[in-house]
Amino acid sequence: MSDLCHLSLVEQARRVAVGGATARELVDAHLARIDALDPRVHAFLHVDRDGARAAAEQIDARRSRGDKLGPLAGVPIGIKDVVVTKGQPTTAASRMLAGWTPPYDAAVVERLRAADAILIGKQNCDEFGMGSSTENSAQGPTRNPWDLERIPGGSSGGSAAAVAAGFCAASIGTDTGGSIRQPSSMCGVVGLKPTYGRVSRWGLIAYASSLDQIGPMTRTVEDAALLLELIAGHDPRDSTSLVDAVPKYRSKLTSGVVAGTKIGLPAEYFGDGIDPAVRAVLDRTISVMRDAGARFVSLSLPHTRLALPTYYLLACAEASSNLSRYDGIRYGQRVERKGASLADVYRDSRSAGFGAEVKRRIMLGTFALRAGYYDAYYRKAQQVRALIKRDFDEAFAQVDVLLTPTAPTAAFGIGETTTPMEMYLGDVFTLACNLAGLPGLSVPVGLTPAGLPVGAQLLGKPLDELTLLKAGRALEQRCELSPRWPDLGEVEGAS
Amino acid sequence: MAELTAHEVSEIAHLAMLTLSAEEAETMRLELSAILESMTALAAVDTSSVVPMTHAVPMDLRLRADVVEPSLPVEVALGAAPARAEDAFVVPVVISEA
Amino acid sequence: MSTVAPVGDAALPAVLDEWEPVIGLEIHVQLATASKAFSPSGVAFGAPPNSLTDPLVLGLPGTLPVFNRRALELAVRLGVATSSKIRARSRFARKHYFYPDLPKGYQISQYDEPLCEDGAIDVLVGTRRMAIRLQRIHLEEDAGKSSHEGATSHLDLNRAGVPLVEVVTAPELASAEEAAELMRSIHRLVRWLEISEADMEKGQLRCDANVSVRRRGEDRLGTRTELKNINSFRFVQKAIEHEILRQIRILETGGRILRETRLWDAMGGVSFPMRSKEEANDYRYFPDPDLPPLVVDAQIMGAVLGTLPELPGPRFERYQRELGVSPDDARTLVSERPLAEYFEAAVAARRPEAAVGVRGRAVANWLLTELLGALNGDDKAIGDSPLSPASLAELVDLIEDGTISGKIGKDVFESCYASGQSPAAYVESKGLRQISNEAELLKIIEQVLVTCAKQAADYRAGKEGLFGFFVGQVMKATGGRANPQLTSELMLRALKS
Ligand SMILES: [Mg+2]
Ligand SMILES: [Zn+2]
């Protein structure tokens, strides 16, 4: 195990700040690990070796001059490839965008650069964020570091795997229906989907605009708190960005006290569909937390069973619209046969550029928005969405947070899930949170007998990330995985 | 209306600007039908008095001041175009009349 | 503004006894903002291709729209000026279709919750003022432009994202002339309100027409066609007349009208059906998830109401009712706001003694004949007039109070127009003041009668036709400054004595 690479983000930043390590050492250690192990994991689509080293050297030079450094100075962070980076290729793991380098930075990337973080590379994911296993990447799947024959979850699978494997101190993921939390659960890392509007979507390649949110994927809850603090906040370029002030999450993160916290256990999240091994880990978690003084309340979110169809209708409808811009004209993949008409160029480019799952969702969304079908499908789903939101409002009148499994199963085998519906069911516990715009946190709380991580999901009131992080800290302290990290073998050259 | 017809699949593909092979179209028909089947549950819910929720967090639109910022240089604007002339994107001729 | 073009086809009036056209217009007006509707790149006509873009205009992945406050204010201004209902909360929707000039694959527009509904606009057909109902006015963004280059088209996205309003009239225009007048009214109104330059040649004002015909007396509407691409005033009337006739000919020969979109070809003076494929569009409108509801709050309403000038329609009537202006002159005066403002400033600058009911008539005459004539000759706009409204008022007052004669007035006008000098000062400095002093005039008359004793004798002998000669002699002697009326009176008395 390379020591530097499994330090927390907070600790890595501290070492650079006090001179315990140089930025260059951190970057070299991570690059060595990536070079040695990522061929097996395939977490990255692009590693910016030269850029990362140059940025690290600059930070070290600034430090030696006594310049003030940002709070993430020298810390390598990976970015899911649906977030645009000026000067680094961004493809959304799609053939459609192969070779595209954006001329601008996402808001979150600007903020990371301003904090002096090192943007070490772009991470694999399901194409345009559409999937739950990272198998829908045009560049091939990412493998779960805990078991290379298994998927890492998705769609932010590369980002979760990279954090678990020690390829970066933290990742920036995106979550439309669970895409931060579910892979975090399956890779044994911490993943936070903030309240809708908390983090600017400027520069996030849209999948479903009313559901998409950017968030941190880290090895500790404290890391997530720090990263959220740095990326959250109002951005005038996003009309849905919230203006509320950003709390100092990290300093307010008192150490793991849950006595008196009222935690709701929604019955619908503990039903038949859960794998018994996952269920056992959750039961143990609940009893540990009860011993620590948390008060559990059983309650019901009656519209939960409608969340899945509601989500897929709304997400696919928005996706069909958002993906209309990919036409092979201004950027991206273009297929133009000899003598092709304009319509041929559109159809050929789109048909060749999009993968099967993306096409399926575009088709479903196009269906739902057609004249004559809109009211029965899209509008109906928006109404049910309001009912799902109302369930949560009522629940949060009684409790501080909700605790649920993050996913019904631990990581499954690559190629194991064959039908789209089967795959969609894997998101059943995460997507209601997006529909309601709530913050959700996944924290690793145990391993299955097969040695696969299991995450617990905490859901909170809008803008109440702090309560989630505090409760998550308590889970983290009392339910630590053992072993904490997957064993991928030693890496030469990494310190 | 859970079972889609092949004709509907081809209509939707036409609107979505996708070409599906016969095999793809049939697979798509079956998969979409299965997904739509799961959506019939929504039809049974009484939503007669429910206002559709269009945004995750209720808010009013904020407006920006009418201030010009520098444009992208033409070279950057056209830089990623698969086909271009000196100063324009190029496509097969846009036919607007019969 | 140009007058109504004559009806091109002599057959039209005759068939119209039997057939009734029903016309509705969809008019796009570019809003006069500095930046785009949803992003900050600039707006300018004639800039080098693709030089006014930004990531949103190009439809780059990851971009998001933020709406322009100025565009909203201008649209609300138009809504208020057309007595429309302004929605406190309206909504942006996405309208989907694939076209290369539409970078995102959808246009941000408004659909079932538009900004304005149920308005009306004053249209002057001749000097008749009528109200045409407006179904809606909604906000949207413009598309780019493509130009044909052989087997390819070249795209310029400078115009993509420019803010527009689309004004949709009720389908109740009864003739191509009314449609053309409606376009003129919109043009006048949006310029009046400084909402748009509305230059049709620059595409800032565009018109699509929905046209159908039915036999007179029939209730049911006929099948309509949509005429697109009518891009000059001249062609609005021509294209619609052509379409009315085309439809009547088809129906009279037992044919059926196809519901289709047709493109007007101004060069050939004909229209073509657009491809039927384009017609198979299902726009799949839905509320734009990137844009929360658009709220018109008290602040915006206040800003609009506080700056709204009196509109051309009411002014057209007030000028006739209160200022004694003829209907034709009133129509001309309200054709553009700077002209009306000039007129009002001149009327207001007149001396208080000027009779209220007619104080505008003489100003209108001088303004519309002399001043506009001179400005036209110099290719100048009213705003560039060297003669200020106060000077024009002064000139009219000098004539009406008898200080100078109307004839001298024209000379004064020309001199002051050229020099920019005040008419009163000019009259004073050149000694042009009219002679209305009886004693002074009598002295001159006596002189004339002495010099022209023979003619005086002839007159007295019955040659009364010579009277004008004597007045002319006085004018000649005074350099035209003699008060003509007083001179006539005194001369008559002198000759009879
Ligand atoms: Mg229209
Ligand atoms: Zn329009």
Q: pLDDT digit string (tens) for A384-412?
A: 999 999 999 999 999 999 999 999 999 99
Residues C132-159: what's their mean pLDDT? 96
Q: Quick count: other Cβ atoms within 10 Å of Cβ A166?
A: 26
Residue of B nearest to C93 (CA): B54
Residues B20-49: what's their mean pLDDT? 93
**Considering every ligand atom, which ligand is closest to the CA of C109?**
2
**Considering every ligand atom, which ligand is closest to the CA of C168?**
1
How crowded is the C-beta side of A344, counted as CA atoms within 13 Å? 11
Q: Look at B56 and A344 and tell me if their CB atoms are within 8 Å.
A: no
Residues C6-25: what's their mean pLDDT? 75
Whether chain C has a CB inside 8 Å of the CB on B16: the answer is no
Whether chain B has a CB inside 8 Å of the CB on A214: the answer is no
C64 CA: distance to closest CA in chain A (Å):
6
User: How many whole angstroms from its chain centre is CA C273?
Assistant: 32
pLDDT band at C6 (very low <50, low <70, confident <90, very high): very low
Inform me whether the pLDDT recorded for C216 exceeds 50: yes
B44 CA: distance to closest CA in chain C (Å):
23
B2 CA: distance to closest CA in chain C (Å):
20
Whether chain B has a CB inside 8 Å of the CB on C149: the answer is yes
Q: Look at B43 and A309 and tell me if their CB atoms are within 8 Å.
A: no
Q: Which residue type is seen at C171?
A: P
Q: pLDDT digit string (tens) for B22-31?
A: 999 999 999 9
Going from the Cα of C166 to the center of ligand 1, the distance in angstroms, rounded, reads 7
Inform me whether the pLDDT recorded for C280 exceeds 70: no
pLDDT band at C433 (very low <50, low <70, confident <90, very high): confident
Give me the pLDDT at residue B95, please.
67
Q: Say how many Å lie between the first and final Cα of chain A, rounded.
A: 9
Q: Look at B18 and A347 and tell me if their CB atoms are within 8 Å.
A: yes
Q: pLDDT digit string (tens) for C48-70?
A: 999 999 999 999 999 999 999 99
Q: Look at B64 and C40 and tell me if their CB atoms are within 8 Å.
A: yes
Give me the pLDDT at residue C322, please.
92
Whether chain C has a CB inside 8 Å of the CB on A101: the answer is no
Give me the pLDDT at residue C2, please.
33
Q: pLDDT digit string (tens) for C304-338?
A: 999 899 999 899 999 999 999 999 999 999 999 99
Question: Pick the catalytic residue: A179, A200, A320, A349?
Answer: A179
B89 neighbourhood in chain C, CB within 8 Å: 50, 100, 154-155, 157
Give me the pLDDT at residue C428, please.
84
Give me the pLDDT at residue C11, please.
54
Region(s) of chain C under CATH 1.10.10.410: 438-496
pTM: 0.92
**Position B27 in a domain:** yes
Going from the Cα of C25 to the center of ligand 1, the distance in angstroms, rounded, reads 9
Give me the pLDDT at residue C165, please.
98
Going from the Cα of C26 to the center of ligand 1, the distance in angstroms, rounded, reads 6
Show the domain range for B18: 6-43
Inform me whether the pLDDT recorded for A142 exceeds 90: yes
Inform me whether the pLDDT recorded for A1 exceeds 70: no
Q: Look at A321 and C94 and tell me if their CB atoms are within 8 Å.
A: yes
Token reading at C195: 């909402």
Give catalytic status of residue A80 as yes or no: yes
Sign of CA pseudo-dihedral C480, C481, C483, C489: negative
Residues C348-376: what's their mean pLDDT? 88
Q: Look at C292 and B78 and tell me if their CB atoms are within 8 Å.
A: no
Whether chain B has a CB inside 8 Å of the CB on C156: the answer is yes
Q: pLDDT digit string (tens) for C150-162?
A: 899 999 999 999 9
Going from the Cα of A208 to the center of ligand 1, the distance in angstroms, rounded, reads 27
Give me the pLDDT at residue C356, please.
66
Whether chain C has a CB inside 8 Å of the CB on B89: the answer is yes
Residue of B nearest to C300 (CA): B63
Give catalytic status of residue A185 as yes or no: no
Name the β-bridge partners of C168: C26, C136
Closest partner residue to C64 among A103, A237, A366, by Cβ?
A: A237
B31 neighbourhood in chain A, CB within 8 Å: 360, 419-420
Q: Look at B98 and C293 and tell me if their CB atoms are within 8 Å.
A: no
Q: Look at C35 and B69 and tell me if their CB atoms are within 8 Å.
A: yes
Q: Look at A104 and C286 and tell me if their CB atoms are within 8 Å.
A: no
Q: Look at A331 and B16 and tell me if their CB atoms are within 8 Å.
A: no
A232 neighbourhood in chain B, CB within 8 Å: none
Reduced 3-state DSSP string for C371-400 = HHHHHHHCCCCHHHCCCCHHHHHHHHHHHH
Q: What's the number of domains chain B is made of?
A: 1
Cα–Cα distance for residue pair B6/B15, rounded to 1 Å: 14
Question: Pick the catalytic residue: A2, A80, A132, A184?
Answer: A80
Question: Pick the catalytic residue: A132, A155, A156, A320?
Answer: A155
Ordered DSSP codes for chain B: --S--HHHHHHHHHHTT----HHHHHHHHHHHHHHHHHHHHHHTS--TTPPP--SSS--PPPEE-----PPPPHHHHHTT-SSB-SSSEEEE------
C378 CA: distance to closest CA in chain A (Å):
48
Token reading at C156: 């310029």
Give me the pLDDT at residue A493, please.
58
Whether chain B has a CB inside 8 Å of the CB on A352: the answer is no
A170 CA: distance to closest CA in chain B (Å):
27
Q: pLDDT digit string (tens) for C452-496?
A: 889 888 998 888 888 989 989 998 888 888 888 889 889 888 888
B91 neighbourhood in chain C, CB within 8 Å: 100, 146, 152-153, 155
Reduced 3-state DSSP string for chain A = CCCHHHCCHHHHHHHHHHCCCCHHHHHHHHHHHHHHHHHHHCCEEEECHHHHHHHHHHHHHHHHHCCCCCCCCCCEEEEECCECECCECCCCCCHHHCCCCCCCCCHHHHHHHHCCCEEEEEECCCHHHCCCCCCCCCCCCCCECCECCECCCCCCHHHHHHHHCCCCCEEEEEECCCCCHHHHHHHCCEEEECCCCCECCCCECCCCCCCCEEEEEECCHHHHHHHHHHHECCCCCCCCCCCCCCCCHHHHCCCCCCCCCEEEEEHHHHCCCCCHHHHHHHHHHHHHHHHCCCEEEEECCHHHHHHHHHHHHHHHHHHHHHHHHCCCCCCCCCCCCCCCCHHHHHHHHHHHHCCHHHHHHHHHHHHHHCCCCCHHHHHHHHHHHHHHHHHHHHHHCCCCEEEEECCCCCCCECCCCCCHHHHHHCCCCCHHHHHHCCCEEEEEEEECCCCCEEEEEEECCCCCHHHHHHHHHHHHHHCCCCCCCCCCCCCCCCC
**Position B11 in a domain:** yes
Which element (helix H / strand E) includes C166? Answer: strand C163-169
Burial of C377 (0-12, 13-18, 19+ CB in 10 A): exposed
CATH number of the domain bearing residue B21:
1.10.20
* Phi, psi of C4, deg, nearest 5: -65, 130
Q: Which CATH class is domain C438-496?
A: mainly alpha
Inform me whether the pLDDT recorded for C277 exceeds 50: no
Going from the Cα of C68 to the center of ligand 2, the distance in angstroms, rounded, reads 18
* Phi, psi of A91, deg, nearest 5: -125, -10
Q: Look at A239 and C67 and tell me if their CB atoms are within 8 Å.
A: yes
Domains along chain A with CATH numbers: 9-259+439-478 (3.90.1300.10)
Give me the pLDDT at residue B98, please.
33
Hey, is C236 helix, strand or coil? helix
Q: Point out the least confidently predicted range of B50-59, C190-199, C375-384, C432-441.
A: C432-441
Give catalytic status of residue A2 as yes or no: no
